[in-house]
Amino acid sequence: MSEQLTSLVNKMTLDEKIAQLIQLATPFYKGASNEGQITGPMAEMGITKDVIINSGSVLGASGAKTTKNIQKTHLKENRLGIPLLFMADIIHGYKTIFPVPLAIGCSWDLKLAERSAEIAAKEAAVSGVHVTFSPMVDLVRDPRWGRVMESTGEDPFLNSEYAKAFVRGYQGEDLTNDKNRVAACVKHFAAYGAPEGGRDYNTVDMSERQLREYYLPAYKAALDEGCEMVMTAFNILDGIPATGNKKLMRNILRGEWNFDGVMISDWGAVKEQIAHGFAADKKDAAQKALTAGVDIEMMTTCYVHHAKELIDEGLLDEAVVDEAVIRILELKDKLGLFENPTRAADEELEKEIVFSVSHRQAARELASKSSVLLKNDGVLPLQKDQKIALIGPFSENNDLLGPWSWIGSKEDAVTLSEGIQSKIDPSLLSIEKGSDVETITQSQIEKTLEAAANADVVVLALGEDSAMSGEAKSRADIRLPQAQLELIKALKPLGKPMAAVLFNGRPLDLHGVVDQADAVLEAWYPGSEAGSAVADLLYGDAVPSGRLTMSFPYSVGQVPVYYNCYNTGRPQTTPDAKGEYVSQYLDIPNEPLFPFGFGLSYTTFSYSDASLSSDVLKTDRPIQLTVDVTNTGDVKGEEVVQLYVRDITGEVVRPLKELKGFEKVSLEPGETKTISFTISEQQLRYYHPDLSFESDPGEFTAYIGPNSRDVTAHPFKLEK
């Protein structure tokens, strides 16, 4: 710590130190646009003027004028002139909204993911924000959970790669001097993405080996990339709330991983230790969270009301408070706030930068590359002289940003109808809502049938509204709402070619859609440029290249269903093994409807001449797997070449496949490229029963292909 910060801490009273540890929402601060609008639970927090004056950070303030006003007013009143940190949920864009993170994951494009974070940081920084609560790197396997849309999927390796890309985008190479960047906060530590039953905030219970093998790697990857902050999870882990989990935060995070940055609770999570049955009262909650290593308490008052009392009674060492304060002040110093408290906030530049044309174009490109073509029986791409009936509740609906778009405005979103109208003569397009998201009337059906009867192709715009995904939005039935399924069923007898476009935040059970429509395009929540990007794909001005990073279940009864599962002792060897005593369902397949890594294109690709450089891998001698990939179609396209490995026998049973590498390659029609992957001993390591992380000599199989299902096998041995 610098001499300046040491001197500052020595000047602070205990009350001033403790107040640095609370984060309050904007209504508490003078200069905020919603100043004084303290209602509901906030009104019952018992926040004094002194606490506000000495508080350390602000939640949810935005806009250069507002953040500058709050900061300047605060500095006039704060005795020691300690600036505030402004933090916010900038999950997939500030004002320019990119696709939701699950969609970004499906792009398999780390450079574009990094670019999206860089743009989000630039818009946020010029608007006065210093920290974003992103990336969310929770590994997810259960689409019932509403927050899967914030994750990049079910694979620890791929999630780790995206975690690093997002941190690079937000923070850049020099956070102190690059004022267009913001500090990143990885979340939710840890294993928040594994709630029982897919129900948000619910119990998480797993072995430590599983935690380390699958759930911790992406958090570690973000921190290795320099992520400045970590946010705790709402859930319990091994029976202890993450926010009071000393093993997680003191032993693993700070001990093993040497993280010395700021740890913040999620909203209200410190106090929620009481509801969990882990803390007796707010005083006990404060003692346990501080002891565990949580520096900032978000939107509850356990610290400011009880930390001093705990110290006076000898139940808490003041050094614990000091170390938390020091970490907070060091982050403020790294961001240059003591020299320039308003950092990059600039009203004039804000007008120029936020939601700029170039930013929107980047959002359009990523939305196009994030969409996944799940089915196409020759309907797509559409021809620009075809008569189109655009039907469905999302035909002219601008609810396309997703539930965590914050500053993003639905009114600014390009609708699908607007996107299509930009491509064709308006006289060729008829539009009918067909149904609402969850209800349908006979009158709507009649109008729909009339519009569709005169069309060459029906384009269905279907999905979930944004209130059906996100935090606290778990769903037990993950099919499309019944009204939309009835709409499809009503249209089917017309015999018109139907292409369904899906706007949603989770993998769905697509029965009633994929078996009725001739083409299915999964567009997710595409963001600000939704309609333009989807229209580009529908008309072939862009070629689908997205690949799933989360399996689509055949039925919710399979959930959780994921590609990197175990074989079991009685594996199902053939799909028609009914009556045999094997691991299977009697009424549905074991396999998902669409597997991890799957996605179609408007062209086709072939794989040939796959080979290993050697069938023996040694610790000091990696091997290479090469394969020729050819575009066998008529249009330029991008293929995601995927490498998987299986450890045949281990001290702990190993997954059937594990993603170890990928490359997204662009190919002209008829063009062939040779793709090469290196397989090293380090990639074969895993957590053993004693939690040692090492590889075992023996038999392995490498797999190469376009997804986790359609692969060719190449055996090799590891010798030590």
Q: Looking at residue 576, what is its pLDDT?
A: 74
Alpha-carbon Rg for the chain in angstroms:
26
pLDDT in tens, 479-519: 999 999 999 999 999 999 999 999 999 999 999 999 999 99
Contacts of 416 (CB under 8 A, 6+ apart): 390, 394, 395, 396, 459, 461, 501, 530, 531, 534, 535
How high does pLDDT run on average in the chain?
97
Among 200, 266, 465, 647, the one annotated catalytic: 266
pLDDT in tens, 175-232: 999 999 999 999 999 999 999 999 999 999 999 999 999 999 999 999 999 999 999 9
State pTM to two decimals: 0.97
Q: Looking at residue 46, what is its pLDDT?
A: 87
CA distance 409 to 90: 14
Q: Is the pLDDT of residue 32 over 70?
A: no
CA distance 362 to 364: 5
Residue with tokens 């705990």: 310
Q: Looking at residue 36, what is its pLDDT?
A: 64
Q: Known catalytic residue: 266? A: yes
The percent of residues in the chain predicted with pLDDT above 70, rounded, is: 99
pLDDT in tens, 244-254: 999 999 999 99
Q: Looking at residue 708, what is its pLDDT?
A: 98
SS3 call for 684: helix
pLDDT in tens, 380-407: 999 999 999 999 999 999 999 999 999 9
CA 681 → CA 209, 613, 698, distances in Å?
Answer: 20, 15, 12
pLDDT in tens, 313-363: 999 999 999 999 999 999 999 999 999 999 999 999 999 999 999 999 999
pLDDT in tens, 664-691: 999 999 999 999 999 999 999 999 999 9
Lowest-confidence segment of 33-47, 107-121, 583-597 by average pLDDT: 33-47
Q: Is the pLDDT of residue 151 over 80?
A: yes
Q: Looking at residue 33, what is its pLDDT?
A: 66
Q: Is the pLDDT of residue 174 over 80?
A: yes
Q: Is the pLDDT of residue 1 over 90?
A: no
Give, for 714, the enclosing helix (H) or strand (E): strand 712-719
How does DSSP classify residue 262? E
pLDDT in tens, 623-648: 999 999 999 999 999 999 999 999 99
Banded model confidence at residue 30, pLDDT cuts 50, 70, 90? confident
Please give the single-letter amino acid code of residue 56: G
Q: What is the mean pLDDT of residues 131-149?
A: 98
pLDDT in tens, 652-664: 999 999 999 999 9
Q: Looking at residue 45, what is its pLDDT?
A: 87
CA 275 → CA 191, 234, 236, 608, distances in Å?
Answer: 19, 11, 11, 58
Contacts of 283 (CB under 8 A, 6+ apart): 302, 305, 306, 309, 310
Q: What is the mean pLDDT of residues 578-604?
A: 94
Contact (CB, 8 A) for 440 and 485: no
Q: Looking at residue 126, what is its pLDDT?
A: 98
Contacts of 465 (CB under 8 A, 6+ apart): 397, 399, 437
CA distance 570 to 48: 64
